[in-house]
A and B are shown apart, each in its own frame.
Chain A
Amino acid sequence: MNRAERVRADPGPARPRWAWVFASIGALLVALLALPLAVLIWTALSNELLTFLRDPSLQRAISLSILTSSISVGVLLLLGTPLAYVLARWSFRGKVWVELIIDLPLVLPPLIAGIALLLAFGRNGILGRPLDLVGLRLPFTTAAVVVAQVFVAGPLYVRTARLGFAAVAPELREAAAVEGANEVQLFRYVMVPLARRALGSGLILAWARAFGEFGATIVFAGNMEGRTQTIPLAIFVGFETNLGIALGLSLVLLVIAALVLLLLRWIGRGVPTA
Chain B
Amino acid sequence: MLRRSLPLLLTGLALLAACGASPTAPPVSPATTVATSAPAPTAPPTPAPATAVSAAPVTLNVFAPAALTEASRQLGAAFEAANAGVTVAFELGHSPTQRAQLEQGATPDVFISASRKDMDLAAEQQLVVADQVQVFARNKLIVILPPDNPAQIESLADLAKPGVQLLIGTPDIPIGSATLSMLDKLNASIAPDFKARVLANVVSQEVGVKPIVSKVSLGEADAGIVYVSDAVAAPTLTTLAIPDEANVIVVFTIAPVTAAPHPEEAAAFVASVLAPEGQAVLTAQGFLPAGP
Look across to chain A and name the residue whose beta carbon is closest to the beta carbon of B167. Answer: A222
A218 contact set on B, CB distance < 8 A:
16, 207, 211
A124 contact set on B, CB distance < 8 A:
1, 218-220
Q: Is the beta-carbon distance between A111 and B207 smaller than 8 angstroms?
A: no
B206 interfacial contact with A, CB 8 Å = yes
Number of A-B residue pairs having CB atoms within 8 Å of each other in the complex = 74
B94 interfacial contact with A, CB 8 Å = yes
B53 interfacial contact with A, CB 8 Å = no
From residue B104, how far is it (CB to closest CB) to chain A in Å? Answer: 11
Name the contact of B17 in the complex, choosing from A111, A118, A225, A240 (C-beta under 8 A): A111
Q: Is the beta-carbon distance between B2 and A119 smaller than 8 angstroms?
A: yes
From residue B165, how far is it (CB to closest CB) to chain A in Å? Answer: 7
Q: Is the beta-carbon distance between B94 and A240 smaller than 8 angstroms?
A: yes
Q: Is the beta-carbon distance between A237 and B172 smaller than 8 angstroms?
A: yes
B204 interfacial contact with A, CB 8 Å = yes
> Interface residue tally of chain A, by bracket?
20 to 34
A266 interfacial contact with B, CB 8 Å = no
Q: Which of B235-250 contact A (CB under 8 A)?
A: none
Q: Is the beta-carbon distance between B1 and A224 smaller than 8 angstroms?
A: no
Complex: how many Å from CA A228 to CA B204?
Answer: 8
Q: Is the beta-carbon distance between A140 and B205 smaller than 8 angstroms?
A: no
A200 interfacial contact with B, CB 8 Å = no
Look across to chain B and name the residue whose beta carbon is closest to the beta carbon of A228. Answer: B204
A237 contact set on B, CB distance < 8 A:
170, 172, 205, 207
Q: Is the beta-carbon distance between A240 and B173 smaller than 8 angstroms?
A: yes
Name the contact of B204 in the complex, choosing from A112, A119, A140 (C-beta under 8 A): A140
A189 interfacial contact with B, CB 8 Å = no
A118 contact set on B, CB distance < 8 A:
215, 218, 220
Q: Is the beta-carbon distance between A219 and B97 smaller than 8 angstroms?
A: no
From residue B175, how far is it (CB to closest CB) to chain A in Å? Answer: 12
Q: Is the beta-carbon distance between A240 and B96 smaller than 8 angstroms?
A: yes
Complex: how many Å from CA A223 to CA B142?
Answer: 21
A219 contact set on B, CB distance < 8 A:
16, 211
- Which residues of A approach B to under 8 Å, CB–CB? 111-112, 115, 118-119, 122-124, 139-140, 218-219, 221-225, 228, 236-243
Nearest 3 pairs of A and B residues by beta carbon: A222-B204, A140-B203, A241-B172
- Which residues of B approach A to under 8 Å, CB–CB? 1-2, 5, 9, 12-13, 16-17, 94, 96-97, 100, 150, 165, 167, 170, 172-173, 202-207, 211, 215, 218-221
